[in-house]
Amino acid sequence: MPRSTHYFRIENSVKTLRFFHFFLLSYFFAALCTLSPSTLAKDTGNTHSALQAITLRIDNDIFAGSDRGYSNGINVGFLSQTVDSFQDSRLPSGYRRLNHGLRWLQPKGWDQYNMVLTVGHGIFTPGDWHTRELVKEDRPYAGVLVAGVTYNGRNENRMQSTGLSLGMVGPSALGEELQKGVHKLLGSETFRGWDNQLRDEVVFRLSTQRLRRLQFNPTGDDWQQDLILRTGGSLGNLVTDLNIGAEWRFGPELPNNFGSAPQLPASENTAPTRHMDYSRRLKLHGFIVTNIRGVLYDVTLDGNTWKNSHSVTRESLMTDLGIGVAGSYEHWRFAFAHYFRSREFEQQQEPPRLGSFSAWREF
């Protein structure tokens, strides 16, 4: 390869990386600024923030005693107030302009609405972390960095969630740097095969979910139960799949939403609600959740869409079973779940396990 061509490719890669990181930082900063009380007061004259909650979810297989497969993930979300429409004056002007351009994506015909802006990062690694060589029988190394917007609409016991995610897979997602930094901080060994990771590729995903809540004893008994049913799917070169699942919750005073388990394919449990409970009493409940997915494409298993890369033989049907506990205290909500998963690809030696923790701060 001529030296000039080599430099040209390096320069273009650096420009792409810088542009994408600038995009994500701008997105994150805009989410904070447009949901601040000062911005909302300027827009609407209201002194209250348009921000209803900030959400944080951390996934890590270390919680389940391993370090392979979906190794680590983090997701930060900014949840708006519950409003009457996506052009409601209680939303900042920047959000209303975004919503105007994404009218085709938004649920319609519901009583209550809200929206969520998210930034997420995921790291995927094979089981053999010692070797620098390509592990052909195991999944590719991959880092995924995405930003997204999700729109929710609900009636009393039904909800629709639609979303659009845009991001990057490959070295520009900084999976190698983030994992090495965390492992160095913890004093643990680093994975050595990142030279074999997926190549840079812009990824997107369109998603939709329908949910229904069945309450077994909604009259306020000391012990309550409900069952949340959901169906949906996604389309894109990040993931294309169909899913069906259910969550059974049990305990005193269950929350008025559509699920407690982290990692739900329904926008981090961000159901619109007008009646918030900020009790000073700790409230706990348990849940069991299951999800079945028919997977048509997953870039972290199938490899790059437009470039040559390592891949594995993906399983078409995948199942999750999660068991956990959730609770609330004053303005805080939290949940932890342990997930058991079926094999994701034919060469996988053992089914993966994963722990997921989520925390909310409501306003």
Q: Which candidate, 208, 93, 233, 232, places its Cα nearest to that of 152?
A: 208
* Lowest-confidence region among 103-112, 252-261, 317-326: 252-261
* Lowest-confidence region among 62-76, 99-113, 321-335: 62-76
**Contact present, 331 and 362 (Cβ < 8 Å):** yes
- For 157, the domain range is 3-362
Q: DSSP letters of 313-333?
A: -B-SEEEEEEEEEEEEETTEE
Outline where the chain has alpha helix (H).
3-34, 37-44, 93-101, 175-186, 299-302
Residue 41 has pLDDT above 80, yes or no: no
**Contact present, 157 and 216 (Cβ < 8 Å):** no
Pick the residue with more confidence: 39 or 163?
A: 163
DSSP state of 82: P
* Lowest-confidence region among 58-67, 242-251, 322-331: 58-67
Reduced to 3 states (helix: H, G, I; strand: E, B; else coil), residue 97 is helix
Q: Can you point out the beta strands (E) in 31-187?
A: 51-60, 69-80, 112-125, 142-154, 158-169
Encoded tokens for 349 = 């030696």
SS (H, E, C) 164-218: EEEEEECHHHCHHHHHHHHHHHHCCCCCCCHHHCCCCEEEEEEEEEEEEEEECCC
Number of domains in the chain: 1
Angstrom distance (rounded) from CA 43 to CA 181: 41
We report the CATH number of the domain holding residue 7 as 2.40.128.140
Q: Which pTM value belongs to this model? A: 0.86
* Lowest-confidence region among 107-111, 189-193, 294-298: 189-193
- What pLDDT does 219 receive? 56
Share of the chain above pLDDT 70, in %: 81
- pLDDT mean over 36-50: 48
Burial label, 124 (beta-carbon count in 10 A; 0-12, 13-18, 19+): buried
* Lowest-confidence region among 36-45, 227-236, 340-349: 36-45
Encoded tokens for 316 = 């078409």
327 Cβ contact partners less than 8 Å away, ≥ 6 residues apart: 282, 283, 284, 285, 333, 334, 335
Residue 277 has pLDDT above 90, yes or no: no
Binning pLDDT at 50, 70 and 90, where does residue 271 land?
confident
